Structure formats: structure tokens, C-alpha cells
Chains A and B, each alone.
Chain A
Amino acid sequence: MDSIFFLVFRRMRAPLLALVVAYTLAVCGMVLIPGRDADGNLWRMDFFHAFYFVSFMSTTIGFGEIPREFSDAQRIWVTVCVYGTVIVWIYSIGSLIALLQDKTLQRAMEERRFGRRVRAIREPFYLVCGYGQTGNVLVRALTDRGQRAVVLDNDQERIDLLKLENLHEFVPALTADVRRPDNLLLAGLRDPRCAGVLALTSVNDVNLKVALAAKLMQPRATVICRADSHDVEANMASFGTDHIYDPFDTFALYFATALQAPCLTLLYDWLGNMHGGPLTEPIYPPAKGLWVVCGYGRFGKALYKHLADHDVELVVIEAYPERTGTPPGRWIEGPGTEAETLEQADIQRAVGLVAGTDNDATNLSIVMTALALNPGLFTVVRENNQLNEELFNAVGADILMHPSSIVANRIRALISAPLLMEFINYARHEDDAWACQVVSRVVAMVLDRTPEVWEVRIDAEEAYALLQLRGQGVVATLGDLLRDPRDRGLALPAIALMHRRENRRALLPNLSVRLREGDRILFCGRSGARSSMLWTLQNTHALTYVLFGSSPPRGLVWRWLMRLWGSDRRRAGHGGRGDS
């Protein structure tokens, strides 16, 4: 703060001095030099009129020769003063404007404003370092759910774009190098309300540095990083980074699962994606046969490793084997974009193709050439840049892999419903038939939109009514939560996916299980089911209706009246439900 003021003061000294001196000379001159009044007598201006005249002369307003017409001597002096004082004014105003536009001053003011806005945040917020494609999707997802975020990025253009975006909550953003800890501190790293730090830049080392800084300066915050090098991931894990997402590994695992368990993959797609879009179709990548993998970079390697475990026949096409290394199995050197290399790889008898290079044009070309040679091919294509979305949609590939959105979706799911990750991990152990059953239940419930996924924790904040009644001895079961608070005979369009009590987890739990404090339940359902459930959880009247079928009287007066008239009647009516 002080630095800005001092900067302004220091730079304004010379102009202000010039102004004072010029005015003094002009005013004194006007007072000393005599004029003649209407009768020809000697007349001298006093200081007030001199100051008045000099003021409107020097600011080029020029009312005229006030209060009397000037003598020639006065006019000589005025001529000299005009040039002097006007130039001094222009110089002063010019200095002030240049000062205000000074880059250092602007930057200092911007940083101050940013710091002030960050301090004004009163809820838990996430510090997002890196506003690329992943950051973009994630910030929108966070703000749509009403969570606050603070964004730092190196690139001024991206921050400008963020400021233009129409987000649900206000996101303070600053162009700053996130490798510098003082920028992180300015963005509120040490603020107790900082709930998490997300390192989402495209450079592994920068993410590593951010994770280090976060762990050192704010140990309570959750640190989530994106990385795509195994060394960096191991490094990050060594000092306790909470979550590390490697988009390539993640996709490779997802793809390998898709080969074996299409229903589970479909379930994961539906639950993991943003709520409200249309339901996606299931994909059935062929599990037996030859797969051609183009590109043996990080993506190609991850995919190769996971597919090789599943007994799939693989051949790799790589244009620069000296840079990427070569796979243990069969491989061909070449770009893969022309028919010749593809034919060398037996594209005619292949069942699937993966175009996984880091160049979008190459990937598109590979897919188009391959589909021309073998139209029945199952294609997986990697999209590097969001801008080419239209092209990738048009090329007709079966699976579109976008590293940034994979990471973004994972992180979003992690932040909004952490139980979902656990559910998926446990569901992987079940067989595909079980997953298919769940899928058909979900379809029956949501018709054609992706379901909303939410988590309910039984504690004083989220399940106030439940705990209140429990204090009076009334216990609710899971099935009660799934009743519509407007008509207890109807069920809400929601499914309880998982119930977790301390360390015990139950997938698709039994609806008669009694709810205890500290339980966490994962639900998925049609939009609207969540808000209805919130009524049951938070409002004692709704809960008593759902449990017993009628609400107790509200308000002191009526309750007193009821007590007076027939407390026995009330007790008899509510016989059934247990006091335990």
C-alpha cells in the first residue's frame, strides 16, 4: 500500500513544485504591476483577484480581463504568464497520467486489489494454479456447484479470458508465476479457508514446485496435482501430495476396464460426467484381435502396458523411436498417417486402432486413413487441443480421449463426491452382470439425462433434523431418506449406491439399515431428488411426516393447546415407530 503512495508522491514532486513556483510568480507579478481603473487612477490587483485570474488563465479557461480591463504593462506580464503557467499545467497533468499508466504502478495496484478480494472470501476456496484446458473446466465445475476458487496463471491472455467468462461465483484471478511462493501467499495459500491447492499447469516441474510449497505452507489443505511423468509422480508422492492424476495412466486403465467390463465403464461414464447432459451410449471395444497403437509417447506407453496385461495382440507404430524408445513387442517405424505404414501393421485384419500422438493433425490423419482402409475398425483418438473439438467430433472415432478433461472430471468428482471414487474402486471387483443391473436401474430412473451424484453425511450440519429426532429417540432408516417428503407413499427417483460407516463399506446397501451419526451415503438420482432429500434431512416437520405420516403441531401456542386437549390422543396415534 505504502509503496504505491510513495511512488506517486515521489514522481509528483517536480510537477507540483513547478506548479507552485509558476503560480507564485504569476500572482505576485499581477499584484505588483499597476493598472488603471475607469477614472484613470492607479489601481492594483489584490491577491485574491490575482489568484482568481491566474487560475482561469493557466487552465486555459480564459473568462477575460476581470475585474477591470488591463493596462498594457499588465498585458505584457499576462502574455509571459500564459506560456509559463499553461505549459506547467500540461506538464503536471501529463506526468500524473503517465504515472497512473506506469506498468509498475498498475501491477502494484492489481496485486493489491487481488489480495483484497482473496481476503474477502468468507467460505472455503480452492487455489487453482494453471488455467489451461483442465483449469478452465474445473473452475467452471467448481463455481457451478457454488464453491469459490482463486486462479493464478502465467499467461495474461488466459486470465483475461477468465475475466470475461460468465461464472456463477466471482473468481479472483491474477497473472503471476506460480513457481514463486510469494504469489501463492498473495493468493491466499496461508489463509485458513484455503481448502485445497490444485496444480494444473502443463509443466510437471511447476506442478511439483506448487505441491511442495502447498505442503510446506498449508499442511491442512488438500493438494491435487496433474503429472504425466512417473518420476515426477513418485517425487510428488514422496512428500505426501494427496492426489496425483496422470491423464494417460487414468485413460489407459479406463480403456483396459472398458475392454473387459463395458457396463461398469458405462456406469462410470454416467456417474463421473457432468450432470445434465444426455446419457451416453455404451461402448464395446473388441477385446480379442489385433490392436494398432500409433505413437509410443507417454500415452502409448501407458496404454501398451495396460493392454499387454490383458492378452491383446499389439503392434506399435512410432515415427521417432529414438526419442520415445521401442516397445518389447512388434513395432514399425513410420508416422502412421499414410496407408503404407498402416498396411505394414496389418490394418486390414486389425480390430482396433489407437491414434495417440501429441499432434492433433497427425491423429486425425491416422484415423481417416485407417478408416478408409478398414471401415469396421474401432478407433480411439487422442485430442490435445480443445480448439479442434469440431474436427474430432466429425472424424467419427469411437472414443475421444482428451487428457485435460479426464483430469478435470476426476478432480471434479473427487471434490464434489469423494465417495464416488471409492464406489468405482469397489465396483471394479464385482462382475459385469452386477454392473449391468445397476445400469438398467439407473436408466429406468433417469430416462435420458445423466444422473446427479451426491453424498450425504449424517452430521449436525447436513442432517440436522435427523440428529434432532435421534436425540429424542427416533431412528430413521436409509429407506426413509428415499421417500418423497411431499407424499410418503412415493419413492424419490434416487438410488443409494454406497453406504460407508467408519471403515466398512456396503455397495447398494440394504434400505432397512439404520442411520447413525458419522455415516456417509452416496446417492445418484434424477435432478430434484437431491433437494427433496435435503428437506427430509434438514426439516424436522418433513422428517416426522416421512417417518410417521403426520407432522406434530408447530409453534408454541398450538403445542400448548394440544397438550391441554389430548396428549393421550397423540401418543396413541403414533404407536408404530420405535422409541429405542
Chain B
Amino acid sequence: MNPEKVVFGFFILLALTLNVGFVFGDIDDAAHHHVWEFVAVFVVNAIATILKLGDRTQMGAVLLATSLVAMLQLVAASVLWTIAAHGTQAGLTPSVLASIVSLAAGAVVANVVSVVLLIIETVMLRR
């Protein structure tokens, strides 16, 4: 019963669940994608990435890589959202929302890989 592993696994899985939750629904309907959930996805992914830093094993390196990919997608999505909502005349149009959600969907894939790797690591260790 390793508290560090619990926290680690918790955040990785939470990142995936929140992410999938955000992406669900019509891709261009603003009512289906709330900004609060997006914020939660962003923050939890950031925490998960930070927790993965500093692991010297091969598995740790690949996990960090997947997290960085997810963060990249989410940062792109948040920049797009901010610029569309505050920097343009038209505001947040459905097409921009569609782009944001597709970027988040990409992050979902990265998170899935992350979780799969975590499962593999757990199964291999088998204690």
C-alpha cells in the first residue's frame, strides 16, 4: 500500500475521466462543453505531468512523453479559446468550439495511452 502510487494513479485516471467527460456531446454545441470542466481537465493534467517528472526508468520517460503531448493539446485549446473569446469580434463561434473540442479529444488519446501504460506497469510489477 504505497501512498505515492495511489496519488499517482489517482491523478492519471482523473485526468482521463475528466477529459472524456469534457469531450462528450455535440462537438459544436456550447451547452455540452463547459468551461469549468475544461479548467478542471487542464489543472489535473498539469498536476499529472508534474508528478511524472523525474522518473528515470524507460516507462517513466514514456509516461512523461504522453503527458506532455496531452498538455500540448490542452494548452493549444486554451489559447484558442482565449483568443477566440476575447481577441476576436465574432467571439466563440461553434466552429472554434469544434476545434477546441477536437484538440481536447486528442488529449484524450494521449491520456488513454498514459493509463494503458500505467496498467501495464502495474501488471508487470504484480506485488
Contact = CB atoms under 8 A, between A and B. Distances in A.
Interface of A: 2, 6, 9-13, 16-17, 20-21, 24, 27-28, 46-49
B5 interface: no
B47 A17 contact: yes
B53 A20 contact: no
Which are the 4 A-B pairs with shortest beta-carbon distances?
A: A10-B54, A9-B53, A9-B54, A24-B43
Contacts of A6: 54, 56
A6 B43 CA distance: 23
Interface in B33-55: 35, 39, 43, 46-47, 50-51, 53-54
A2 B85 contact: no
B126 interface: no
Tell me the interface secondary structure of chain A in the complex: helix
A469 to B, nearest CB: 63
A52 B2 CA distance: 38
B86 interface: yes
A273 B51 CA distance: 65
B82 interface: yes
12 contacts: A2-B56, A9-B53, A13-B50, A13-B54, A16-B50, A20-B46, A21-B47, A24-B39, A24-B43, A47-B35, A47-B82, A49-B86
A12 B51 CA distance: 10
Contacts of A46: 35, 85-86
Interface in B51-110: 51, 53-54, 56, 82, 85-86
A48 B47 contact: no
B39 A47 contact: yes
A92 to B, nearest CB: 12
Contact of A28 (B39, B46, B85): B39
A535 B58 CA distance: 60
B73 to A, nearest CB: 17
Contacts of B53: 9-10, 12-13, 16
B76 to A, nearest CB: 15
Contact of A17 (B35, B50, B86): B50
Contacts of A49: 86
Interface in B5-29: none
A190 to B, nearest CB: 26
Given A20-B46, A48-B85, A13 B51 contact: yes
A33 to B, nearest CB: 14
B50 A20 contact: yes
A12 B54 CA distance: 9
B37 to A, nearest CB: 12
B26 to A, nearest CB: 22
Nearest to A28: B39
A2 B56 CA distance: 8
A457 B60 CA distance: 59
Contacts of A10: 53-54
Residue picked from B46, B53, B86, most chain A C-beta under 10 Å:
B53
Contacts of A24: 39, 43
A16 B51 CA distance: 10
Contacts of A2: 56
A21 B47 CA distance: 8
Contact of B86 (A11, A16, A27, A48): A48
A13 B82 CA distance: 27
A49 B87 CA distance: 12
Contact of A20 (B43, B82, B86): B43
Contacts of B35: 46-47
Contacts of A11: 54
B47 A20 contact: yes
Nearest to B78: A47
A11 B54 CA distance: 8
Given A9-B54, A13-B54, A46-B35, 4 more contacts: A10-B53, A12-B53, A20-B47, A24-B39
Contacts of B46: 20
Nearest to A49: B86
A516 to B, nearest CB: 62
A17 B51 CA distance: 8
Nearest to B83: A48
A12 B52 CA distance: 12
Contacts of B50: 13, 16-17, 20
A11 B53 CA distance: 9
A10 B60 CA distance: 12
Nearest to B54: A10
Nearest to B42: A24
A447 to B, nearest CB: 68
A470 B16 CA distance: 80
Contacts of B82: 47-48
A535 to B, nearest CB: 60
A6 B60 CA distance: 11
Nearest to A14: B50
A13 B60 CA distance: 14
Contacts of A12: 53
B75 to A, nearest CB: 12
Nearest to B38: A47
A110 to B, nearest CB: 22
